[in-house]
Structure 1
Amino acid sequence: MTQYNSRFDTSLKAQHFLPKYWGTWILLGLLFIASFIPTGIRDKFAAWLADRFYNAKFLNKRKKIAFINIGLCFPEYSELEKDLLMRENLRSVAQITLALGEIAFRSPSFLKKRVNFIGEHYVKEAEAAGQAIIFLAPHCYGLDFAGVAAISARGYPLSSMFNDYKNPIFDWFVTNYRTRFSRLNDKGTLYHRSEGLKPCIKSLRDKAHFYYLPDEDHGRDSSLFASFFATQKATLPVIGRLAKLGRAIVIPTYTSYNAKTGKVDVICHAPLTDIPSGDEQKDTDLMNAAIERVVNENRAQYMWTLKLFKTRPEVGLKIYKQG
């Protein structure tokens, strides 16, 4: 068995039951109950909640960030189109949030039925060929359904990298459901970002696939600028290095909640055969072009509320300073 020394601590401690955390425990209890409510009823309630709170003051900051991002990427969008996109976005957030307990509390067989795994044949072909996979998965609200319900629950060994949360109870909850199936395998785990890329490369060489979120802004010193829709984005240029050192193929992956079917669509595109190219800029450009294609599967479910463009080509420009 390969030994993985993740810094994530998934154990509960006595202080986690102090009164200041009782509110979090109540919320987790509500997620447990919600995970057994019929999907149609829960989705309608979630959509009603989203519409009810769309204009709430506490959402104004995030909505402003989202409108800036959407405007940069799609300058042709009118204010009404941005608004409609974000209304749908918030409905998806509510529906996926209320379904989150399913990943933690429902059975593997239930989770498999909840997910429509489109393009799984690419994964099976890679496994049959003995190839490790980098799932290139931009930030969307259903990303945990892809990693846990579509990939890990089907027995595919998977590693990933995340930061911990400020709330230790929520950190315990998320870490446990993200690793509930990988703990059953002898490969794959969850790494802290501070551990760097070495554990991920080790996992890939051990044929544990890697779930990679590539679209955060890591600052000017760590990034290259590459096209992203109609703008330029500071992008971490590591995809070629990961693929080369991990001896892995890159499969663009996107998760979209389908309110019509009540299922989560996890969509794998064909592997990016041109990565690694040996050229960091070219690999980064190819990666961002692939992210564009998967986001276009459902633009409304991308995390537009993140500060995706905090680092601009123009030094000193702060587009979110009032956001």
Structure 2
Amino acid sequence: MTQYTSQFDTSLKAKHFLPKYWGTWSLLALLFVCSYIPVSIRDRFASWCADKLYPAKFLQKRKNIAFTNIGLCFPDYSDSDKDALMQKNFRSMAQIALSLGEIAFRSQSFLHKRINFIGEHFVKEAEQSGNAIIFLAPHCYGIDFAGVAAISARGYPLSSMFKDYKNPIFDWFVTNYRTRFSRLHEKGALYHRSEGLKPCIKSLRDKAHFYYLPDEDHGRESSVFSPFFATEKATLPVIGRLAKLGKAVVIPTYTSYNAKTGKIDVICHSPLSNIPSGCEQQDTDLMNQAIERVIAENKAQYMWTLKLLKTRPEEGVKIY
């Protein structure tokens, strides 16, 4: 059985305890405290903070990006529709942000109770059939809860990719909580994006599943254009290759914070039986269709503030 070693170093150094980082350490201490506050109290506080901060000027740039994305994807949305969606979006973001400490500091059994894992039988069926799994997980605020608390904490070996955070303390914190349960297994790891797809394919062949975030804009040269709601999106055309070379099934996965139950709903859908199709463009289109379906279940939890549509089919067009 192969254990893969990634090429990045997120270990703490003496310089990371200098005063310039004390603010970050204070934030992590706050997350630790929040992880033990009753969920109902924490959620009400998060919603109150979100509603108070929503009109703030420092958020205007991100809101403009979100309004642009929503307008392109849903041209029938009025300004009030966009605003209502983003107010819900911001509340969900605040509630999940104050919950993040749970992934790092709370027990495995606690996290099991926090997750409502819908469709886990698709995961078990794939494993029983001897298949590796590509969890197709578009950017929603609860993505770490799905990867860590739902999948890895339940004993499913998992690999994924990441890119560095600018703050090395946060980089250390996130990397450690993302790997806290995968370190207990004999396979699976966290890879830096600069390492490419090769280690992920090796992990898939070793039956370590891959948590794949497919919806970032990587630019014109690396992408093909594929329909995405009412617009077109520059999309990496790699899902078919990953599924074929990794001998894996593709399971669309979405995470929503359920404020009514106080739990995180991690929803796995049935595997996409038509990927790989043998056609790169067709596989990419089928993937985006699957992403649309899961986002449509709860649009308010998707990361509309990302520059998802920066690369346009018409060269030279700037929308942000």
**TM over 0.5, yes or no?**
yes
Match of 1:298 in 2: 298
Match of 2:129 in 1: 129
Note the alpha carbon deviations across 1:19-38, whole angstroms, 9 max, x for none.
10011001000000000000
SS in 2 for 1:252: strand
Structural mapping, 1:282-293, within 5 Å: 282-293=282-293
Match of 2:216 in 1: 216
Kept after mapping to 1: 8 A contact 2:135/2:209: yes
Per-residue deviation at 1:164? 1.1
Q: Distance in 1 between matches of 2:13 and 2:181?
A: 23
Q: Distance in 1 between matches of 2:313 and 2:167?
A: 35
Match of 1:8 in 2: 8
Kept after mapping to 2: 8 A contact 1:179/1:190: yes
Structural mapping, 1:232-251, within 5 Å: 232-251=232-251
> Unaligned regions of 5+ residues in structure 2, if any?
none
The amino acid that maps onto 1:291 is I
Note the alpha carbon deviations across 1:43-68, whole angstroms, 9 max, x for none.
00000000000000110000000000
Per-residue deviation at 1:9? 2.0
Q: Distance in 2 between matches of 1:7 and 1:164?
A: 12
Note the alpha carbon deviations across 1:215-250, whole angstroms, 9 max, x for none.
000111111101000000000000000000000000
Match of 2:86 in 1: 86
The amino acid that maps onto 1:165 is Y
Q: Does 1:66 align with 2:66?
A: yes
Q: Distance in 2 between matches of 1:104 and 1:279?
A: 41
SS in 2 for 1:271: coil
SS in 1 for 2:254: strand
Per-residue deviation at 1:91? 0.2
Note the alpha carbon deviations across 1:77-97, whole angstroms, 9 max, x for none.
110010000000000010000
SS in 2 for 1:285: helix
Q: Distance in 2 between matches of 1:279 and 1:242?
A: 13
Kept after mapping to 2: 8 A contact 1:8/1:175: no
Q: Once the two structures are aligned, what percentage of the paired residues are identical?
A: 81
Match of 1:37 in 2: 37
Note the alpha carbon deviations across 1:255-293, whole angstroms, 9 max, x for none.
000000000000001000000000000000000000000
Structural mapping, 1:18-29, within 5 Å: 18-29=18-29
Per-residue deviation at 1:2? 1.5
SS in 2 for 1:220: coil
Q: Does 1:110 align with 2:113?
A: no
Q: Distance in 1 between matches of 2:316 and 2:171?
A: 34
SS in 2 for 1:161: strand
Q: Distance in 2 between matches of 1:60 and 1:153?
A: 37
Match of 1:96 in 2: 96
Q: Does 1:256 align with 2:256?
A: yes
Tell me the C-alpha RMSD between the 2 structures: 0.6
Match of 2:139 in 1: 139
Q: Does 1:190 align with 2:190?
A: yes
Match of 2:155 in 1: 155
SS in 2 for 1:43: helix
The amino acid that maps onto 2:282 is K
- How many residues align? The count is 320
The amino acid that maps onto 2:14 is A
The amino acid that maps onto 1:198 is K
Per-residue deviation at 1:3? 2.5
Match of 2:267 in 1: 267
Match of 1:17 in 2: 17
The amino acid that maps onto 1:16 is H
SS in 1 for 2:297: coil
SS in 2 for 1:80: helix
Kept after mapping to 2: 8 A contact 1:8/1:190: no
The amino acid that maps onto 1:57 is K
State the TM-score, normalized to the length of structure 2. 0.99
Note the alpha carbon deviations across 1:171-217, whole angstroms, 9 max, x for none.
00000000000000001110000000000000000000000000000
Q: Distance in 2 between matches of 1:196 and 1:8?
A: 13
Q: Distance in 2 between matches of 1:111 and 1:263?
A: 10
Q: Distance in 1 between matches of 2:217 and 2:127?
A: 32
Kept after mapping to 1: 8 A contact 2:10/2:168: no
